[in-house]
Structure 1
Amino acid sequence: MGDMPQIGGAPVVTLKADAPPGRSGFVEATILPGRGMMLLQARVRRPPGDILDALFAPPVEEAARRLDGGPDDFAGNQAFLFGGAILAPFANRIRGRPLRETREIEAHVDGRRVRLPRNWGGKAPGAEEYAMHGLILDAAVPFEQPGPERVTGRLEAGDFGGRWPSQTELAFDWRLNDGALSLRIEAVNVGAEVLPMGIGWHPYFALPSGDRRQARLRLAAALRAEVNDYDEVLPTGRLQRTRGSVYDFGGETGAALGDLHIDDCFTGLRREGGRASVEVHDPAGGLGFRIDTPSPAVKAVQVFAPPDRPFVALEPQFNLADPFGEVWPAEVDTGMARLPPGGRTSYEVRLCALAVGT
């Protein structure tokens, strides 16, 4: 491992496997154990044999510059701006009271007062800042690679540096198999208190055509969480029906994104055969991607797709934004799992490449 490039103080791991003949499939994946087991890149082979990058992400050398001590990498922020970061013990945003002279907020998590990094927020003057996308973005995870197509890791996260209730252990398992890339995460409460847990994954899918407006989204979700605006992107506490709206992507072929700016959290996911799915298609580029999850704890999918960028981010996750926020009515399940001492929960996703046409 000494000659391998390193990011986050750990070697970059490359998985390799053959894709099934005659159809599109994943043949390579680049994992960063030094950055919370995030996926940096995945490569797809399409018939008759061309190789494409699936994710919007820089090369390893540039990723190392951005992720290893860059000025904009407070609390690991750079990890969720490209590639596919893993989010835990919460996905999305958590609001709280900003603490003076620190880059922290004081937030209430399951009735307990905690201090979280104030690592994101709106860009407009006076916009609110908050905690974003969990506490493992810059975590170094001890790992093993039992074969060329698999890497596993185990993180004794404890109380995440005093920032979260109880004590957590996280186990990660990435695999390339039969042209698909799969991820499994298991969280175990090894402490004496109830453990609130939210897990997510944040992949940015590159569009070969570069034209996001003609990209199509397929997501069968009954509800969309209304937000205050697309700068702070904070929930109002209202869930709106998607059917018949511009956010209705539940048809057999989904719907084109057009000029719609989207940074929205969808819930009320429809499951078929015990699985929820989300797809993005690039008809002009001839390629699409589908994420399937059998995990019943996945209650939401965040979609981030600015009209002028050549990517669509699809983020299956346990929880809605600001899951402990006062804006949510008591009857709304905001998605956080609550694990008793000794309890566990799992997160599973399987990523496939699709051949699509105009």
Structure 2
Amino acid sequence: MHLEILQNRSLRLTVAPELGASIVGLELHQAGFWLPILRPTSPAALVQKHSPDTSSYILAPYSNRIREGRFVFAGKTYQLRPNWPDGQTLHGEVHGRPWSAQRINEHTLHCAFDASSLHDLNFPFPFRVEVAYRLQGDSLETSTTLVNVGTEPMPAGFGHHPYFMRHLGNSREALLCFGADHIYLTDTSCLPTRPAEAIPPEFDFSQPRPAGATMLDHVFAGWNGKLSLDWPGSDWRMELSADPIFSHLVVFTAPDGSVALEPVTHATDGFNLLSQGWENTGVRVLEPGEKLAGSLRLTLAPSR
């Protein structure tokens, strides 16, 4: 599998265009070594082309789960095929497919996916997604654009699914901090059962807490677009900032010991929540030719 590598003095980013333009490595250079910021992708995941086992993958034209793979939009019901081992439909339609890729310069990679000509598309509306990765000093900027290339309005959203290391080298457990207004409490299928509500103390990360302090697979609403991950004992911390379009944040303490911090534009099962009249789901309706766009900036900085 062909891999694209962007590298400067501080960071090394490896991307697999053939595997959903997924990130298969993001590393920090320190004292002659490359330390993984995101969980490393195994060779087996690349050979098997299994994007959920990469370091980070792209979610589009929706993020997270759709209940029973069925949603209602503009009065019509659409049924999608299950695409996950548990029989659910989730995480969009692009992360396991080949994308085109073009090096813009030494530190910028532009990737694109066009669904308009696919016969096996598991989504009722054609779309195009573009993602640009840029290394700038101690930062990685990721810009995403989703376009409705069809002739009808479509519900839309996107996100990114990075898995962060909870230990950097010999550091202690990472401390996570972010601000949000509400949280969606979920059923056993990790789907919201009622509108977002006040955040209980055990899910409150407005002050730094160990990333694994609470087992989470939840969506936070009204995210302020900022979070930090501090690795005590490493002298490094990560700061993530997101454009306002990323109004929701998914936090998932993964069984492999990493923590997924997923900036997304809408709530889990957002298409159905929108059709049920729930407010502030984050779902956008794109008219033909309309775009949805936003950027993330991940920066490594010395610990304060």
Same fold (TM over 0.5): yes
TM-score (norm 1): 0.77
Q: Which residue number in structure 1 is paired with residue 216 of structure 2?
A: 262
Deviations 1:46-92 (A, max 9, x none): 3x444201111234x3332232xxxxxxxxxx312330000000111
Q: Which amino acid aligns with 1:234?
A: L
Q: Which amino acid aligns with 1:249?
A: F
Unmatched 5+ stretches in structure 1: 1-5, 20-25, 68-77, 97-104, 123-128, 271-275
Q: Which residue number in structure 1 is paired with residue 58 of structure 2?
A: 86
Separation (CA, whole Å) in 2 of partners of 1:233 and 1:84? 20
Q: Which amino acid aligns with 2:64?
A: N
Q: Which amino acid aligns with 1:342?
A: G
Separation (CA, whole Å) in 2 of partners of 1:213 and 1:320? 32
Separation (CA, whole Å) in 2 of partners of 1:90 and 1:37? 16
1:349 aligns with 2:303: no
For residue 111 of structure 1, report the CA deviation from its aligned partner. 3.7
1:132 aligns with 2:90: yes
Q: Which residue number in structure 1 is paired with residue 34 of structure 2?
A: 51
For residue 265 of structure 1, report the CA deviation from its aligned partner. 0.6
Q: Which residue number in structure 2 is paired with residue 177 of structure 1?
A: 136
Q: Which residue number in structure 1 is paired with residue 72 of structure 2?
A: 108
For residue 115 of structure 1, report the CA deviation from its aligned partner. 3.4
Task: Report 1:233-252 matches (<5 A).
Answer: 233-242=190-199, 245-251=201-207
1:165, 1:196 within 8 Å by CA — same for their partners in 2?
Answer: no
Task: Report 1:221-232 matches (<5 A).
Answer: 221-229=180-188, 232=189
1:212, 1:311 within 8 Å by CA — same for their partners in 2?
Answer: no
Match for residue 252 of structure 2 among 272, 292, 304: 304
Separation (CA, whole Å) in 1 of partners of 2:193 and 2:298? 32
What is the root-mean-square deviation in Å for CA atoms of aligned residues? 2.6
Deviations 1:176-203 (A, max 9, x none): 1122111111112222101211110001
Count of residues in Structure 1 that have an aligned counterpart in Structure 2:
303
2:107, 2:135 within 8 Å by CA — same for their partners in 1?
Answer: yes
Q: Which residue number in structure 2 is paired with residue 63 of structure 1?
A: 45
Separation (CA, whole Å) in 2 of partners of 1:107 and 1:121? 20
Match for residue 157 of structure 1 among 115, 118, 121: 115
Separation (CA, whole Å) in 1 of partners of 2:41 and 2:20? 18
TM-score (norm 2): 0.89
Match for residue 278 of structure 1 among 227, 230, 240: 227
For residue 121 of structure 1, report the CA deviation from its aligned partner. 6.3
1:110, 1:196 within 8 Å by CA — same for their partners in 2?
Answer: no
1:313 aligns with 2:246: no
Q: Kindly, what percent of the aligned residue pairs are identical?
A: 23
Unmatched 5+ stretches in structure 2: none
For residue 322 of structure 1, report the CA deviation from its aligned partner. 0.7
1:208, 1:287 within 8 Å by CA — same for their partners in 2?
Answer: no
